[in-house]
Structure 1
Amino acid sequence: MSERKVINKYYPPDYDPLKEEKVKKVRKPGPAGWPTVRLMIPFSMKCLNCGEYIGKSKKFNAKKESTREDYLGIRIFNFHFRCPQCFSDLVFRTDPKNGDFECVSGCRRNYERKEGKIAADETMDDIVKRLEEEEYREMLAKEGKKENEETAMEQLERRLNEQQKEQEATEEIEELQERHRRLERAKPRILDDQELLDEKEAKLAFKAKSQSKSLTENPTQEGNQISLLSGYSSSDDETVTIKRKKSSLGIRKKVKV
């Protein structure tokens, strides 16, 4: 066993690989000569002998049979494997026309394809037209996917922009709330000032009205007031004009000088 694992092997000086005869592999006829391949079931199926369900992607060792059939130069292969329950022979084959697989014997597919199968009597022109349409649909699907896709940087930029907008909106709301609070605090003071101003104007109006009424009742008093305001009197002795006070009942009282 150690000789098999050595790195360098001995070749005699007179060894010529071109003169050596190649040993031809003799392939056994029939199923014994088919190559064994390891594969997964491309679709879920049911065994017709025992009713066992075989799930998709289950691994099997299958015999690969090369048939003489082809589609546009593509060879069609049959795959033979055994049911894990009853060990009966199950066969499925490739379907390059529809890009799928189909059951041949011993099994049945659980679910059929969503797309309809291609007609068996399809001409070459129909094939070319169908392939062009499929290529056009794939191109549109790829373009739409590229438009909808976002790279990691684009997603990060979009999130940062959204966060910035939310922060600006929050600051604006806080500013409006602060302004509203300031207005609410200043509102009572403005009302007090307005009330004082109204009261002052009412007092002045009442005073002016009372003065005009007193002048109409005592016209002689107007001259005395004018003389006092001008700084001289009509008589030799200085006179002082004192306005009579009114009581709360409206009765005039005499004032001693």
Structure 2
Amino acid sequence: PAQPPADVSWLQPVPDRLLEPAADSAQGPASAAVARETIELAFLVAIQHLPARQRAVLITRDVLGWPATETAALLGTSVASVKSALQRARATLKQYLPQRREDWAPSAEPSAGERALVRRYVEAHQRADLGALAGMLAEDVRMTMPPHPAWLVGRSALLTLSGQVFKPGSPWYHGRWRGVVTGANLQPAVAHYVEHPTADETRHLAGRFRAQVLDVLRIDDGRITAITSFEPRHFAAFGLPLVLP
């Protein structure tokens, strides 16, 4: 496509340890479900497409759970206007959330199958195994790289890039990979490290793995449907080192 799927320059990954209180079920399962959903990267991107007033109504009504009367008082408008704005906001939101969601469905803890998929994702990078990587990607998988204006849409495009990254002698070759599984925005994430083959300028790092990228994964129906790749400057927030021995 001519335009990237989203342009949210400030979007950042948040470590799960800082978000778990928001997903605490103490307020009841419905509140926990909404709390989990509204800090996913897909939702944070989608609400940026709403006009300011619709965004305010959606957050106060659907995220904070305020009644229409309190929302109307806060925004200085009528209850009817609040209900109308919420209806329009929900309709717009569905256009920008992952297509596999027919409704604004709550996310859940990763299943055993999803955890196994993340491990295979790490192993595919460590073995530079394009075939294994292809088997776990959805046909319409999307990769975005905030804040950079770079994106990939489709399994073929992502595999083409990965093939260049994995292939020795390619200008894009990064060397051997290692991965550390973590979590961001209550979604599976992998911190990738690369043993760059040209480390002459920093000989003390030769043979060691340096931070490369943090991939936050969206998994639907047993396939990876979205990858949001962040710069290694975010590793510190996750308690991850910049260099692995």
Q: TM-score, normalised by structure 1?
A: 0.20
Higher RCO (CA < 8 A, seq sep 6+): 2
Q: TM-score, normalised by structure 2?
A: 0.21
Which structure shows the bigger proportion of residues in helix conformation? Answer: 2
